[in-house]
Amino acid sequence: MRLALYNDNQLGVVVGEMVVEVGNAVRWDKHDTPRSFRHLLEGFVEYRAAIETAALQGPKVRLSDVQLLPPVPSPGKIVAAPVNYMSHKLEMNQDFTVERLGFFLKAPSSIIGPEGTVRLPFQDRRTDHEGELAFVIGKQAKDIPASQASEYIFGYFGLMDITVRGQEDRPMRKSYDSFTPIGPWIVTSDEVGDPHTLDLQLWVNDELRQSANTSELVANCYRFFEIASHVMTLYPGDIVTTGTPEGVGPIVPGDRVRLRIDRIGEFSVNVDLKR
């Protein structure tokens, strides 16, 4: 199932090139999307049949006629992997990978949705794109082994980890407003299947910059989940993002960045200077 937020905080199921509004099936309150979203995650097993029925019977609208919003509204935290592809380790001339570096946090206020605009805060400092596979936590987790991680992952989506290069710690360089585009929707974990066989590609304008497969992850989704949950409690709605492969490069005002992940979908954002 592909779950999207769109227009005036409506909840929809994506079916092909259409989206069907299903909010009534889960008592969705578009005026309080964070609470409604957590309610959806915690009660999804109970609500699933009603959602599927609503998706079959409800009026359909073309995706091209709606504005997609960030599919995860107001997460409590964004847990991110610093160096999680060997190719990126070599590219960045890093000594260690995620297994030694651990993780860092990004500000939830940095999130934007598909067709949003990344606002660069500096004209004289390099800012890079980083395309990643991310997932959203479906139920509270603490000290969960990798072998059980799939039971706690609700679904997957694409994420761009926009990064200013410099000497400041990662959370500062990666947490400017608009520095975490996510989308285009959440694909539930059962539909994705094995998350470690997905092709990931990122283009800047018409130039393919990044191309990899999630089989190349150093700490795969489940192992990285284990690392994070060993340190902190993960709550429904928290985002975990798995790191970027080689091909990281600069973006400048006027660029258009597109991320595509196999079995999930694709979305684009624009780049401009901070106003």
Band (89; pLDDT cuts 50, 70, 90):
low
Which of the listed residues 11, 30, 65 is the one where a domain comes to its end?
Answer: 65
Whether 23 is covered by a domain: the verdict is: yes
Which of the listed residues 65, 95, 113 is the one where a domain comes to its end?
Answer: 65
Mean pLDDT, rounded, for 116-132: 97
Burial (CB count <10 Å: 0-12, 13-18, 19+), residue 84: buried
Does 27 share its domain with 140?
Answer: no
Does 89 share its domain with 213?
Answer: yes
Does 45 share its domain with 98?
Answer: no
Does 19 share its domain with 85?
Answer: no
Instruction: Return the CATH number at 90.
Output: 3.90.850.10
Does 136 share its domain with 250?
Answer: yes
Cβ atoms of residues 160 and 257 within 8 Å: yes
Whether 70 is covered by a domain: the verdict is: no
pLDDT computed for residue 92 by the predictor: 66
Whether 146 is covered by a domain: the verdict is: yes
Band (127; pLDDT cuts 50, 70, 90):
very high
The reply to whether the predicted model has a pTM over 0.85 is yes
Whether 71 is covered by a domain: the verdict is: no
Does 137 share its domain with 18?
Answer: no
Whether 73 is covered by a domain: the verdict is: no
Which of the listed residues 43, 65, 87 is the one where a domain comes to its end?
Answer: 65
Residue span of the structural domain in which 59 resides = 2-65
Does 223 share its domain with 187?
Answer: yes
Q: Which residue has the tokens 């706690």?
A: 152
List, in sequence order, the alpha helices (H) in the chain.
Answer: 33-42, 44-57, 86-92, 98-101, 170-173, 189-192, 221-231
Does 35 share its domain with 94?
Answer: no
What would the pLDDT profile of 28-67 be if each residue is shown by its tens digit?
A: 999 999 999 999 999 999 999 999 999 999 889 999 999 9
Asked if pLDDT for residue 224 goes beyond 70, the answer is: yes
Q: Domain total for the chain?
A: 2
Distance CA 267, CA 36 (A): 24
Does 50 share its domain with 92?
Answer: no
How is residue 230 written in tokens? Answer: 């060993």
E strands present in 59-171: 60-62, 78-80, 104-106, 111-112, 117-120, 127-129, 131-137, 153-160, 163-164
Does 205 share its domain with 126?
Answer: yes
Does 120 share its domain with 17?
Answer: no
Does 45 share its domain with 8?
Answer: yes
% of the chain residues with pLDDT over 70: 99
How is residue 47 written in tokens? Answer: 């609500």
